[in-house]
Amino acid sequence: MDNDALVALRKGHFIVLYDGDEREGEADLIFHASFADPKRVEFMRREAGGMIVLAISKEIANELGLPFLHEMFAKNGIENTYVKTNYNDTPPYTTPVNHIDAHTGVTDNDKALAIKDFSEIFNQKNRKKFYNSHFRTPGHLPICVSKGIEKRRGHTELAVEISKMAGINPAMVLCEMLGSGKALSKKEAIAYASKNKLAFVEGKEI
């Protein structure tokens, strides 16, 4: 993989991450959570167009006590409310959040506040106390937890893995890149990255 992508992430720049032809065949616009601000969130919303999510490692999720939603549903006898993906794995979502100081949680300002403050968890001595005092759930910021690249190779796992390769905390912001009525094609994603001078990374490189 080109080192430019890792340098870009360390500097707070966007990169384009394509999972693979054998999987969704979709590209996400991604950047590191510690650089979140309203302008970056708005840029994602306008330029990519998909759902903005925060991807975190399973280690920090376990430390905070964040469950996978499909496991929580199963424990409550409502297994039929979720569907496995076409590649036969379960969605990596945990409980979505709002920041405690958010107005509705929907706006670019509110999402940026939640993302940025979540990235501060890694700097805390008592991470769970920080999480519990700064966030409320359910909210409007979806969070996905990596299941480990050895178990699953979705955008969540790839983004968390690339953050580790870059030597930054495993908290990445992702947004699917959409075209007209469907996901942006690989060719279109490569062209977009080239036009905007962004690094383009394929899952097989990670």
Contact 154, 23 (CB under 8 A): yes
Structure tokens at 196: 């905007």
* DSSP H helix total and E strand total for the chain: 8, 7
pLDDT at 71: 86
pLDDT at 86: 66
Can you tell me the distance from the alpha carbon of 50 to that of 96, in angstroms, rounded to the nearest whole number? 16
pLDDT at 119: 98
pLDDT at 75: 81
pLDDT at 81: 61
Bond from prior residue into 138 cis (ω within 30 degrees of 0): yes
Can you tell me the distance from the alpha carbon of 54 to that of 118, in angstroms, rounded to the nearest whole number? 9
3-state secondary structure of 195: helix
The CATH superfamily label for domain 3-201 reads: DHBP synthase (3.90.870.10)
Mean pLDDT by 10 residues, the chain (206 residues): 92 97 91 98 97 98 94 77 66 95 98 98 97 97 96 95 98 96 95 97 94
Which residues have CB under 8 Å from 97's CB, separation 6+? 114, 118, 135, 136, 137, 138, 139, 141, 143
pLDDT at 79: 64
